[in-house]
Amino acid sequence: MSNLKKKLVNGEFVVTAELTPPKGPEINQMIDKLKELKPLVDAVNFTDNPSGKMRMCSLAACKISLDLGFEPVLQMTCRDRNRIGIQSDLLGAHALGIRNLLLMTGDHPILGDQKEAKPVYDIDSSILIRLINNLNNGLDINGNRLNGKTEFFYGGVVNPNAEPLIPQLKRFEQKLKMGAEFFQTQMIFEIEKLEKFMDYAQRFNTKVIAGVVIIRSKKMLHYLNSKVPGVSVPKWLIDKIEGFNDEDVEKFGIDFTAKLILNIMEKKICHGIHLMAFSKVEEVKNLLNYIKI
C-alpha cells in the first residue's frame, strides 16, 4: 500500500506538492528540489504537460523520484494518448514501482506551446478512472485478462469553484462510481466554496485533498485567473492585491495560504492539502513552518 494511501486511510492529514518536470533534458534542478521537498511533504505530484505545454514525461520524473526514495503521484491526462498508449504507459509505470495516480482529462493543446498538435481525447477522465479499476482487477479496458493485477491507488480531480457547480458535482459522483479512491481539487481561494463542495462530498465517504496555491505576485494571480482553465480568482482578492507593492504581495501570499490551510485543518474540512504551481521550495518551507504541520 502506498504511503499516501496508508495515511489517508488512517485519517492522517496529508500534504502533497506539485512539481512540473523540466522543459528539456536537464534534471539536476528537479532533483535538487525533490531533495529539499522530501522532509516537507508526503508525496510529490508530477504533472503531465500542464496547460498543454510540452515537458519531460511525468512517468520518468516519478521514476527519478522513486530512485531518490520519495513517493510520487503520477498525473495522467487523456490529451496525448489513446487508450492503448495509456494502458501501456500505466503498466510500465506499475512495473517501475509507481502506485499513486491522479487522473484527469487534461487541458486542451490550444492553450499550450504546441497549438498545432492533434488532441487525442480518445477517452475522458471518467472512463480513464474505470480503466484503472479494470487494471486493478486484472483486466484491460475491454475486459481481456491481464497476466496479473495492478495495485494502483487512484484519484480524480474536481473543481469546487466551477460555475455552474452541479455538473461538477455530478462528475464527482460519477468518478466515485467508476472507482476513484480520492480526489484532488482545483486551487481554492475561498473556503466557503470548498465547504459547500465538502458538504456534498461528505455523504460519499471519500478522501479529498484541497488544492492551494501560494500567491507570489500580481502577475501570477492575473495569469492564473486569465490563462489557467477552471481557475477563477475572486475579484475581491485581485482588488486587494492591486494595492500592495511586490514585497507585500509575497508576505500576503504566504499569510493568505497559511490561513486558508489552518482553516481547513481546524474545521477538518478536507483530508489534506496539495500545493500547486510553485517554483521555490523555500516558499513551501516557509508556509509549512508557518502552520507547523
With CB under 8 A as the contact rule, the residue among 121, 200, 244, 252 that binds another protein is 121
Note whether 111 binds another protein by CB under 8 A: yes
Alpha-carbon span 68 to 227, nearest angstrom: 34
Residue 133 binds another protein (CB under 8 A): no
Query: Contact between 89 and another protein (CB under 8 A)?
Result: no
We find the least distance from the C-beta atom of residue 224 to another protein, in angstroms, to be 12
Q: Which of 20, 75, 105, 150 binds another protein (CB under 8 A)?
A: 105
Q: What is the DSSP string of the chain?
A: --HHHHHHHTT--EEEEEEPPPSSS--HHHHHHHHHHTTT-SEEEE-SSGGG---S-HHHHHHHHHHTT--EEEEEESSS--HHHHHHHHHHHHHTT--EEEEE----GGGSS-TTSPP--SS-HHHHHHHHHHHHTTB-TT-PBPSS----EEEEEE-TT-SS-HHHHHHHHHHHHHT--EEEEEE-S-HHHHHHHHHHHGGG--EEEEEEE----HHHHHHHHHHSTT----HHHHHHHHTS-HHHHHHHHHHHHHHHHHHHHHTT-SSEEEEES---HHHHHHHHHHHT-
Minimum CB separation of residue 22 from another protein in Å reads 25
Identity of the residue, 163 or 248, whose beta carbon is nearer to another protein in the bound complex: 163
User: Which of 83, 196, 218, 285 contacts another protein by CB under 8 A?
Assistant: 83
Among positions 138-157, residues that touch another protein (CB under 8 A) are: 141, 157
CB of 142 to another protein, least distance (A): 9
CB of 5 to another protein, least distance (A): 23
| 84 belongs to the binding site for another protein (CB under 8 A) | no
Q: Is 1 in the site for another protein (CB under 8 A)?
A: no
Whole-number Å distance between alpha carbons of 7 and 13: 7
> For another protein, which is the closer residue by CB, 145 or 292?
145
Closest approach, Cβ 237 to another protein, in A, equals 16
Tell me: does residue 168 bind another protein (CB under 8 A). yes
Q: Which of residues 176-195 bind another protein (CB under 8 A)?
A: 177-178, 186
- Which residues are at the interface with another protein (CB under 8 A)? 78-79, 83, 104-108, 110-111, 119, 121-127, 130, 141, 157-159, 162-164, 166-168, 170-171, 173-174, 177-178, 186, 229-230, 232
